């Protein structure tokens, strides 16, 4: 779907993009600000790590013109289960994925914003379809955690 040049440029920018996602999550989503303020930096490092992993999944899928692979979705689901275990509300995690998608889109457009309209529409469609695949995986991760909490002891 994207050429090798854009793919390599996005891969090189992954650390910078992950930093932006982490910074914006703390700035824009109150819960992430509280989590970061109440930690010694470990939470921010974890947010950045998960953001970079998910941005990498998006860039790979964008290059290949495919949706996330089952193994990638399993990792996303697992990360969501951990967020649920830490008490992070589902809506905050879903908002984080959408914010990450915005950062990814901005990076794509910064490098390829002069493409023709058909390319831009196709790229935007891929981003939306990617989110349609990822958000249910996040919700499934939360569902895995909820039944475990409701089991009789």
On whether residue 34 sits in a domain, the answer given is yes
Residue 104 belongs to domain with CATH number:
1.10.490.10
Range of the domain at 25: 4-146
**The pLDDT of residue 100:** 96
b/e 10-20 (16+ beta carbons within 10 angstroms → b): beebbeebbeb
Residue 30 in any domain: the answer is: yes
In a domain, 153, yes or no: no
For residue 90, being part of any structural domain is answered with: yes
CB contact burial 126-138 (16+ within 10 A = b; e otherwise): bbeebbebbbebb
pLDDT at 46: 86
- Please tell me the total count of domains within the chain: 1
Model pLDDT, residue 64? 95
Short-list 33, 42, 61, CA closest to 128: 61
Mean pLDDT by 10 residues, the chain (153 residues): 88 96 91 77 84 96 95 95 90 94 92 78 94 96 74 56
pLDDT at 96: 94
**Spatial contact of 127 and 104, defined as CB atoms under 8 Å apart:** yes
Q: Is residue 151 part of a domain?
A: no
DSSP string, 102-122: HHHHHHHHHHHTTS-HHHHHH
Residue 105 within a domain:
yes
């Amino acid at each position: 779907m994207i050429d090798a040049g854009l793919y390599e440029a996005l891969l090189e920018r992954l650390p910078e993009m992950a930093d932006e996602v982490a910074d914006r999550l703390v700035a824009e989503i109150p819960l992430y600000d509280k989590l970061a303020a109440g930690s010694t930096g470990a939470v921010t490092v974890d947010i950045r790590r998960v953001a970079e992993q998910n941005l990498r999944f998006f860039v790979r899928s964008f290059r290949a013109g495919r949706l996330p692979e089952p193994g990638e979705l399993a990792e996303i689901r697992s990360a969501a289960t951990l967020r649920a275990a830490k008490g992070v509300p589902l809506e905050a995690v879903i908002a984080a994925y959408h914010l990450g998608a915005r950062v990814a889109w901005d990076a794509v457009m910064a490098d390829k914003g002069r493409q023709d309209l058909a390319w831009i529409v196709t790229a935007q469609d891929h981003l939306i379809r990617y989110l349609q695949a990822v958000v249910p995986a996040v919700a499934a991760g939360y569902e895995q955690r909820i039944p475990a909490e409701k089991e009789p002891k």
